[in-house]
């Protein structure tokens, strides 16, 4: 998921990071070329390849049609190719691929031992812990300048919900204008943002983008219909997912086949509508379409695996328990591709039907490692703390030979909680190797974060703090720092503040920022503000913005607005600022972002695209991004091309 648009959809995960990630609402990788270290900022200076011709020749930093594009280094998870091209990396994407795939993990880092690091899991799952937008909206902080607009709502919180009339009267017109932009990424960003805003009449604009000349915009429109969530869009999405003649006509393709990724995105969109509508009609054509696409096909090309994985994932989020037998059959069928079976297992976990436990326990012993990995993830969602099957999960966490499967099992125990799971995690925290201990700490932190009244939380915090102090590597210390934040262990605040006070590992300092935000340590605000102002450290600045949002620092908005108004900003800086304003900004930033999104003279193509993303974040009707349903508890180790692209959107 890494073409600009790909990441554009996001918004989910996390301020400036994202990424994600975030983390976490959106992991907007930015337009092509070489991103900054960590890969969340926009990067590159190349010209995109032409939008209409699959065989066009993009230039350095561009989309990467044919052999024209060059590999970018940005992107939270890093895609492998451009949206339609088969060139050298696509230029809009990172160079790593989803964690565990060919070459690397979040932000272009080298692949860790076993292909999975603790922060890979964190970036894909942090949204449910950060819940930044929900927290900001809940605070009901008065806007920093309520008189900037006539009739402005004085109760608009920093990062809070922009009033519906402001969305209709100020945000939607700007997004509609951006939808006619000459640059494809601006159009793609605008259509996704329209879906986020959720206004009924915005659906007309999204439908109009289906026949755009650029495939990225077309697939974005499909996904936007899913994010928008209207059941009226099901017929359109079914036709596209099936590659019907009517679907080709809607996309303006004439007799040409619909691109694989567009069909996958349409299938995912059907699942998103089912999620929002609390289920798909069990006798309806939409569910029948997903079931048919998830069934075995005669052709076994890799691209066709994506055409099956997409619908399988959609079945997991469509809230239709009738498909549990279908998915169990896929998991058990050893003739199916391992990736398809793997995603069928995680879909069973997301459906939440405990009837799937027996089949998943069997899958925990499958000969394919990716199937075992996904079985562990799914069991973490389905098992209760007193189930006897928890012992099987403990065994996998302690003895599984596949590194990733073992680490997923550890994180699953944190999901399950309870005495048996916690005892096992404490053993791993004490006796596990240096790479396992951060996972055990993170699993305990996640467990106590969701169960703050569970016994021995304070004692656990002390044990994790001891590991933080004794750990030698910044990477391990970062994992312990996030765990301490999730545990809200006040005794760790001085240690984490000390990390911010001194020069050192930028990565560790970013994690310390987030941990202090999770702990709501307001004493950290001056230091985090200082980190926000450090030039050339884009990752640190992104996480500092997340932290200030978590800490409820209303002055962060004015800091970002001042940064936006200053001259000589790089694309990376502009991208970070606009996305930061989109996540924690209030109504006072709608006007400057709207101007930025639509002024072709004053702002570059990439800047306009970033501003459109930020407007979508401001107008987003959901407190948790819709696409986080896909990222959370997915097996990113088994992601193919289309899913990798989708995950980067989150």
Residue 220 confidence (pLDDT) above 60:
yes
Distance CA(515)–CA(441), nearest Å, equals 13
Angle CA 309–231–188, to nearest 5: 65
* 3-state class (DSSP) for residue 105: strand
Distance of alpha carbon 462 from the chain centroid: 31
- pLDDT of the residue at 418: 97
Q: Which residues pair with 109 in a beta bridge?
A: 105
pLDDT band of residue 296 (cuts 50, 70, 90) is: confident
How confident is the model over 488-506, as a mean pLDDT?
94
Asked if pLDDT for residue 443 goes beyond 70, the answer is yes
Q: What is the pLDDT of residues 137-190, one digit of tens each?
A: 676 543 434 333 233 333 333 445 688 899 999 999 999 999 999 999 999 999
* Average predicted confidence (pLDDT) for the chain: 80
- Cα dist. 350→139, 198, 327, 346, 630 in Å? 30, 24, 12, 6, 9
Determine the 3-state secondary structure of 353 from DSSP.
coil
C-alpha to C-alpha distance for 228 and 626, rounded to whole angstroms: 9
- Phi then psi for residue 105, to 5 deg, are -135, -160
* Cβ neighbourhood burial of 223 (10 Å; 0-12, 13-18, 19+): buried
Do you find a cis peptide bond into 168, omega within 30 degrees of 0? no
Contact 646, 264 (CB under 8 A): yes
The SS3 assignment for 323 reads: helix
Position 301 confidence tier, pLDDT thresholds 50, 70, 90: low
Q: Is the pLDDT of residue 40 over 50?
A: no
Per the model's pLDDT, the better-predicted residue between 57 and 537 turns out to be 537
- Among the listed residues 603, 604, 556, 598, the one whose alpha carbon sits nearest the alpha carbon of residue 581: 556
Q: Is 380 helix (H, G, I), strand (E, B) or coil?
A: helix
Which helix H or strand E contains 164, and what residues bound it?
helix 164-166
* pLDDT tens by residue, 113-145: 347 999 999 989 998 998 877 777 676 543 434
Which CA distances in Å does 450 have to 189, 445, 638?
34, 9, 27
CA 471 to CA 158: how far, in whole Å? 37
Helix (H, G, I), strand (E, B) or coil at 111: coil
In the prediction, which pLDDT does 641 show?
Answer: 83
The alpha carbon of 319 is separated from its chain's Cα centroid by a whole number of angstroms, namely 20
């Amino acid at each position: 998921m890494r073409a600009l648009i790909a990441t554009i959809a996001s918004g989910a995960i996390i301020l400036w990071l994202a990424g994600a990630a975030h983390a976490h609402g959106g992991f907007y990788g930015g337009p092509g070329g070489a991103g900054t270290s960590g890969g969340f900022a926009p990067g590159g200076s190349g010209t995109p390849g032409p939008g209409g011709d699959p065989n066009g020749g993009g230039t350095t930093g561009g989309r990467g049609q044919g052999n024209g594009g060059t590999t970018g280094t940005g992107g939270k998870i890093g895609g492998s190719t451009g949206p339609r091209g088969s060139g050298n990396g696509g230029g809009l994407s990172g160079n790593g691929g989803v964690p565990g795939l060919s070459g690397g993990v979040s932000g272009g880092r080298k692949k860790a031992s076993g292909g999975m690091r603790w922060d890979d899991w964190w970036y894909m799952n942090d949204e449910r812990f950060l819940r930044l937008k929900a927290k900001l909206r809940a605070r009901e902080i008065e806007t920093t300048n309520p008189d900037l607009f006539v009739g402005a709502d004085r109760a608009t919180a920093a990062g809070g919900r922009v009033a519906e009339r402001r969305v209709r009267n100020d945000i939607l017109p700007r997004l509609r204008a951006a939808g006619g932009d000459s640059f494809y990424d601006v159009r793609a960003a605008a259509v996704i943002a329209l879906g986020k805003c959720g206004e009924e009449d915005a659906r007309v604009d999204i439908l109009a983008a289906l026949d755009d000349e650029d495939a990225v915009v077309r697939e974005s429109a499909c996904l936007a219909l899913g994010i928008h969530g209207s059941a009226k869009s099901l017929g359109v999405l079914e036709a596209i997912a099936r590659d019907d003649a009517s679907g080709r006509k809607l996309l303006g393709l004439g007799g040409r086949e619909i691109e694989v990724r567009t069909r996958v995105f349409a299938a995912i969109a059907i699942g998103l509508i089912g999620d929002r509508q609390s289920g798909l009609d069990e006798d309806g054509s939409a569910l029948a379409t997903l079931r048919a696409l998830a069934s075995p096909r005669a052709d076994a090309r890799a691209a066709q695996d994506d055409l099956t994985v997409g619908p399988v994932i959609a079945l997991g989020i469509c809230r239709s328990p009738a498909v549990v037998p279908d998915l169990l059959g896929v998991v058990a069928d050893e003739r199916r591709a391992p990736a398809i079976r793997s995603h069928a297992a995680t879909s069973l976990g997301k459906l939440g039907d405990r009837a799937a436990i027996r089949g998943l326990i069997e899958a925990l012993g499958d000969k394919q490692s990716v199937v075992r990995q996904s079985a562990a993830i799914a069991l973490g969602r389905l098992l209760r703390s007193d189930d006897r099957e928890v012992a099987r999960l403990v065994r996998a966490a302690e003895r599984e030979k596949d590194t990733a499967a073992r680490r997923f099992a550890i994180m699953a125990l944190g999901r399950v909680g309870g005495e048996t799971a916690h005892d096992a995690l404490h053993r791993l925290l004490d006796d596990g190797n240096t790479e396992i201990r951060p996972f055990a700490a993170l699993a305990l932190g996640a467990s106590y974060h969701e169960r703050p009244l569970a016994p021995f939380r304070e004692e656990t915090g002390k044990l994790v703090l001891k590991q933080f102090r004794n750990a030698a590597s910044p990477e391990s210390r970062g994992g312990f720092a996030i765990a301490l934040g999730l545990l809200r262990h006040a005794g760790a605040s001085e240690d984490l503040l000390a990390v911010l006070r001194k020069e050192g590992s930028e990565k560790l300092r970013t994690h310390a920022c987030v941990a202090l935000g999770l702990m709501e340590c307001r004493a950290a605000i001056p230091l985090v503000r200082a980190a926000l102002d450090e030039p050339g450290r884009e990752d640190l600045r992104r996480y500092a913005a997340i932290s200030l949002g978590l800490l409820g620092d209303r002055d962060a908005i004015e800091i970002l607005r001042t940064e936006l108004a200053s001259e000589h900003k790089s694309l990376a800086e502009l991208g970070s600022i606009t996305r930061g304003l989109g996540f924690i900004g209030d109504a006072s930033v709608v006007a400057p972002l709207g101007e930025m999104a639509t002024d072709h003279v004053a702002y570059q193509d990439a800047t306009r695209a970033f501003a459109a993303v930020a407007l979508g974040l401001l107008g987003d009707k959901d407190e948790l991004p819709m696409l986080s349903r896909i990222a959370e508890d997915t097996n990113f180790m088994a992601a193919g091309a289309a899913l990798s692209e989708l995950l980067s959107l989150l």
